[in-house]
Amino acid sequence: MTEPVLIVGGGPAGLAAAHALASVGQRSVLVEKESRLGGAPILSGYAKLVPSGEWAKDAIGGMVSRVEGNSLIAVHKGCTVKEFGGEAGAFRASLSNGASCDVGAAILCTGFTHFDSVNKPEWGFGTFPDVVTTTQVEQMISSGKGVRCPSDGRKPERVAILLCVGSRDRQIGREWCSKIC
Ligand SMILES: Cc1cc2nc3c(=O)[nH]c(=O)nc-3n(C[C@H](O)[C@H](O)[C@H](O)COP(=O)(O)OP(=O)(O)OC[C@H]3O[C@@H](n4cnc5c(N)ncnc54)[C@H](O)[C@@H]3O)c2cc1C
Ligand code: SF4
């Protein structure tokens, strides 16, 4: 394909796609709506990743640098696709930063958003300060301070972990789950 490939989303999937295409000589245009690449592990400050045990900022940071340093990949940050049209092999995309590009194909890598636990009030999130989400725990560990009770900063003696909140739940119309956590 002579035209570049449009990749929407600069998280791990978009970064991996751009790098894989570049490794076979294929140009791409990577569009990320946030001001930083890296997706959820970077934007939400995850700690160490399974299975490698590497800090997210190192593991994903490496993926970001090899994309940002690659001349076959044009990166647009803080940007979205405003218009997209054409036909297979010959599309045109207009970006919110005023740029436009002719692309041969598009890959959507827009990822996910975290479930807002306020929508399951029976578990106390939003009511009791020491009920926190997994993402908050990740951020506590990343900060280097370790897991602490937000109410008074003490190290908790025991922790209850509630799995699957927001998944497989008919009350909120979501009967499925990722099947991988
Ligand atoms: C708490 C937690 C811990 C986790 N820990 C691990 C772990 O240890 N190991 C592991 O392998 N996985 C882990 N995961 C899973 C991992 O975070 C995801 O599998 C991964 O982030 C998915 O990457 P992605 O690129 O598909 O999506 P995302 O990371 O969601 O990235 C999507 C990107 O697309 C951008 N985007 C969205 N919409 C648009 C748009 N319209 N235009 C432009 N850009 C857009 C977003 O800003 C974002 O940068 C964890 C997940 C959670 C919730
Ligand atoms: S994969 Fe397992 S732990 Fe994750 S939401 Fe589904 S049932 Fe719950």
CA of 154 to the centre of ligand 1 (A): 31
- Which residues make beta-bridge pairs with 108? 8
**Interstrand relation of 105-108 and 81-87 (parallel, antiparallel or unpaired):** unpaired
Q: Residue 38 has what pLDDT?
A: 98
d(CA 60, CA 44): 12
Binding-site residues, ligand 2, Cβ < 6 A:
163-164, 167-168, 177-181
In this predicted structure, which of 45-49, 137-141, 177-181 has the lowest mean pLDDT?
177-181
d(CA 150, CA 153): 5
Mean pLDDT of the chain: 96
Residue 88's identity, in one-letter code, is A
Q: Residue 5 has what pLDDT?
A: 98
Residue 95 Cβ contacting ligand 1 at under 6 Å:
no
Picking from 18, 33, 15, the residue whose alpha carbon sits closest to that of residue 82 is 33
Q: Residue 180 has what pLDDT?
A: 81
Q: How many CB atoms lie within 10 A of CB 110?
A: 15
CA of 41 to the centre of ligand 1 (A): 6
Q: Taking residues 41-55, what's their average pLDDT?
A: 96
Q: Residue 173 has what pLDDT?
A: 92
Residue nearest atom 1 in ligand 2 by C-alpha distance = 179
Q: Taking residues 127-156, what's their average pLDDT?
A: 97
- Compare 181 and 104 and report the one with higher pLDDT: 104
CA of 63 to the centre of ligand 1 (A): 13
Cα 63 off chain centre by: 13
- Closest ligand 1 atom, residue 44 Cα: 1
Query: Taking a C-beta distance cutoff of 8 angstroms, is the pair 6, 29 a contact?
Result: yes
CA of 174 to the centre of ligand 2 (A): 13
CA of 63 to the centre of ligand 2 (A): 27
d(CA 55, CA 45): 10
pLDDT of 1 higher than 80: no
pLDDT in tens, 60-106: 999 999 999 999 999 999 999 999 999 999 999 999 999 999 999 99
Residue 63 Cβ contacting ligand 1 at under 6 Å:
no
**What predicted TM-score, i.e. pTM, was given to this entire model?**
0.95
Residue 21 Cβ contacting ligand 1 at under 6 Å:
no
Q: Taking residues 33-55, what's their average pLDDT?
A: 97
Residue nearest atom 4 in ligand 2 by C-alpha distance = 181
Q: Taking residues 144-162, what's their average pLDDT?
A: 97
